[in-house]
Amino acid sequence: AIKRGTPVPADAIAEYLWPEQSPELTTHRLEVVVSTLRRIVDYRNNSRSWQFIHNDRGSYRLEISTACQVDVDEYHQLLSRVKYLKTEGKSEESLVLYQELDNLYRGDLFEDEPYAEWCWMERETLRETHLDILRQMAMILVQKGDLESAIQYYRKALRFDPLREELHRQLIHTLLKAGRKDEAQRQYLYCCDVLKRELGITPSVETEALNKILS
């Protein structure tokens, strides 16, 4: 699915599934896995060929069509649309698509395979993209005066990655703007604590400057 219809050699798939095992064992195992998978998700079309999982000269590929949707592809399509709207300065329309993107992102890509190298780059790229989407949503909501919703999106972004110091600062500024100074102070202390505990560093000059405002 990640290869988006590009054929993947059978031996490469077998190596991902059963690393360092002999091809004599893995070739048959892969055939069994594909056969099982086809019984679950695939079917033969009128020409009696498989609809989704194709075997082309020793490689497998997923046929992407209207009958086979991949959430990652849908995410990228929405992302292209929202980028276009941003260039047109249509923040209201962008916000609607941002919300659709947020609803579509239900967790990190293949999060049950945290150490799998084959999907690591794609996972990190999507994760960084979605963190930026949450930040952009919050910024638009601040401009609209919907500070409560903006605060919720900043908090959601920080649940994804609590080490993003810039997000802490933006959340603190938004809390202050909303008149919630006590919460802003707690957020500052939490930022300092998590940076020290996880990274062994102190906040940047920009973050420490907020302490003067909060005192």
* DSSP structural state of residue 147: H
Cα–Cα distance measured from residue 213 to residue 166, given in angstroms and rounded to the nearest whole number: 17
Please tell me the predicted confidence (pLDDT) of residue 91. 82
Using DSSP's 3-state secondary structure scheme, residue 204 falls into coil
Sequence-separated (6 or more) residues with CB below 8 Å from residue 149 = 141
**Most distant pair of Cα atoms in the chain: their distance:** 74
DSSP one-letter code for 65: B
Per-residue model confidence (pLDDT) at position 137: 94
Contact 134, 147 (CB under 8 A): no
- Give how far Cα 132 sits from Cα of 9, 69, 70, 161, Å: 35, 25, 22, 11
The one-letter amino acid code at 142 reads V
CB atoms closer than 10 angstroms to residue 91: 15
> Which contiguous run of DSSP H or E holds residue 212?
helix 205-214
Question: pLDDT truncated to tens, each residue of the chain (215 aa)?
Answer: 888 788 999 999 998 889 888 888 898 999 999 999 998 888 887 667 888 898 888 999 988 876 777 899 899 999 999 989 888 888 888 899 999 999 999 989 998 888 888 888 999 999 999 999 999 999 999 999 999 999 999 999 999 999 999 999 999 999 999 999 999 999 999 999 999 999 999 999 999 999 888 88
pLDDT at 43: 80
Tell me, what amino acid is at 92? E
45 three-class SS:
coil
Q: Decide if 119 contacts 109 (C-beta within 8 A).
A: yes
| 20: amino acid identity, one letter | E
H or E, element range at 60: strand 59-62
Which pLDDT score is estimated for 47?
67
Task: Decide: residue 56, CB within 10 A, 0-12 exposed, 13-18 middle, 19+ buried.
Answer: exposed
